[in-house]
A and B are shown apart, each in its own frame.
Chain A
Amino acid sequence: GQQLNQSPQSMFIQEGEDVSMNCTSSSIFNTWLWYKQDPGEGPVLLIALYKAGELTSNGRLTAQFGITRKDSFLNISASIPSDVGIYFCAGLDRGGSNYKLTFGKGTLLTVNP
C-alpha cells in the first residue's frame, strides 16, 4: 500500500528559529494535509493542499504541495513555545466517492524558550 515517509522524526530548536519538515510518498496524492497534535489531544488540521505546486499559509505556518504530487513540506517561521507538539502529514486519496487517509509517522517538535 501507499507509504509516507516523514522527516525529521524529531527536532529540538530555540524559540525564534524557523522549522522545516517534509513528507514523501511512494505514490501520488491529490490532497495533502498537515496536522498538529498537542499533548493529550487529538490531531488538529492545520493546512490542506489541493494542487501540485500550491503554497498555502496559516499564520506562521506555510505548506507546499510538491510539483511531483509525491511530496509536501511544512515550514514554521519564528517558532514559539506553543508550537511544541507532534506534526503529522497525511495524504488523502480518492477512490470513487470515498477518501482514504494515509499518515506519516510524525515529527516531534520541541521548542526551548
Chain B
Amino acid sequence: NAGVTQTPKFQVLKTGQSMTLQCAQDMNHNSMYWYRQDPGMGLRLIYYSASEGTTDKGEVPNGYNVSRLNKREFSLRLESAAPSQTSVYFCASSGRDRGAPLAFFGQGTRLTVV
C-alpha cells in the first residue's frame, strides 16, 4: 500500500522556468490537497480538491495552478517560478480508510528556485 506518492523529491529551477509537481494516491480518497511549508512555519494550503473535477483556492494560491486529472492524481503547476516559491511542497489526501475517515501525506518535494 503506497499511500500518497509525490514526484519529484527534489528540484532546482531557474527563475521563470515552469514545472509540474505530481501527486497520486491509491486509497480511493475523494479529497486531495497541496500545501507548502517554509522554514519554521506550519503548513499553508495552496489548493484543495474535494473530488474529481473540482478545485478550490486555499490560503496561498497565487503563482500556482492545479489539475485534478482523475480521482488518483492531483498535480501542482508553477508556470513561472519565482524565488519566493522556494519551499517544501506536500500533497495529502483524505477520505475513508477501512471505514474510518483519515488523511495521509506524501513525503514532500523540496523545490529551490534560483
- Convert B93-114 into 0s and 1s, putting 1 for each residue whose CB lies closer than 8 angstroms to a CB of A: 0111000111111111000000
**Complexed CA–CA distance, A109 and B8 (Å):** 29
Name the residue of chain A whose CB is nearest to the CB of B40: A108
Instruction: Tell me, rounded to whole Å, the shortest Cβ–Cβ distance linking A100 to chain B.
Output: 6
Does any Cβ of B come within 8 Å of A76's Cβ?
no
Q: How large is the interface on A (under 10, 10 to 19, 20 to 34, 35 or more residues)?
A: 20 to 34
**Are B51 and A98 closer than 8 Å at their CB atoms?**
yes
Q: How large is the interface on B (under 10, 10 to 19, 20 to 34, 35 or more residues)?
A: 20 to 34
Given A100-B31, A101-B94, A48-B105 contact (CB < 8 Å): no
**Complexed CA–CA distance, A12 and B45 (Å):** 28
Contact of B31 among A45, A50, A99, A105 (CB under 8 A): A99
Does any Cβ of B come within 8 Å of A92's Cβ?
yes
Instruction: Tell me, rounded to whole Å, the shortest Cβ–Cβ distance linking B76 to chain A.
Output: 15
**Complexed CA–CA distance, A33 and B100 (Å):** 12
Q: Give the residues in chain A near B96, CB-CB below 8 Å.
A: 99
Count CB-based A-B contacts (< 8 Å). Answer: 68
**Complexed CA–CA distance, A101 and B103 (Å):** 8
Q: Is the interface of B mostly helix, strand, loop or mixed?
A: strand
Does any Cβ of B come within 8 Å of A44's Cβ?
yes
Name the residue of chain B whose CB is nearest to the CB of A92: B101
Q: Give the residues in chain A near B43, CB-CB below 8 Å.
A: 43, 88, 103, 106
**Are A98 and B42 closer than 8 Å at their CB atoms?**
no
Report B's interface with A, CB cutoff 8 A.
29-31, 33, 35, 41-43, 45, 48, 50-51, 90, 92, 94-96, 100-108
16 contacts between A and B (CB under 8 A): A40-B108, A41-B107, A41-B108, A48-B101, A50-B100, A90-B103, A92-B101, A95-B50, A98-B50, A98-B51, A99-B30, A100-B48, A103-B42, A103-B43, A104-B42, A106-B43
Query: Can you add 12 more A-B contacts, CB < 8 Å, to A92-B103, A101-B103?
Result: A31-B101, A33-B102, A41-B108, A43-B90, A45-B103, A48-B101, A98-B30, A99-B31, A99-B95, A100-B31, A104-B42, A105-B41
